[in-house]
């Protein structure tokens, strides 16, 4: 990921960094919930062992 403009001060640098971190977190949380959905959908129901 590159930023084409030259950053002027620390506040702009922090804004760019937080934007990139936010994008990564959104991607990771989407992958996490998709995996949870798949695990819940495809898990096998085990028979009750005490019957």
The pLDDT confidence band at residue 15, using thresholds 50, 70 and 90, is very high
Local structure of 33: helix, strand or coil = helix
Rounded Cα distance between 45 and 49, Å, is 12
Four-CA torsion 19, 21, 18, 34, nearest 10 degrees: 70
Mean pLDDT of 24-31: 98
pLDDT at 5 over 70: no
What 8-state DSSP symbol labels residue 50?
A: T
* Cβ-count burial 26-35 (b if 16+ within 10 Å, e if not): eeeeeeeeee
């Amino acid at each position: 990921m590159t930023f084409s403009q030259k950053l002027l001060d620390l506040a702009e640098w922090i804004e760019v960094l937080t934007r990139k971190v936010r994008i990564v977190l959104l991607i990771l949380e989407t992958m996490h919930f998709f995996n949870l959905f798949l695990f819940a959908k495809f898990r096998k129901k085990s028979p009750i062992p005490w019957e």
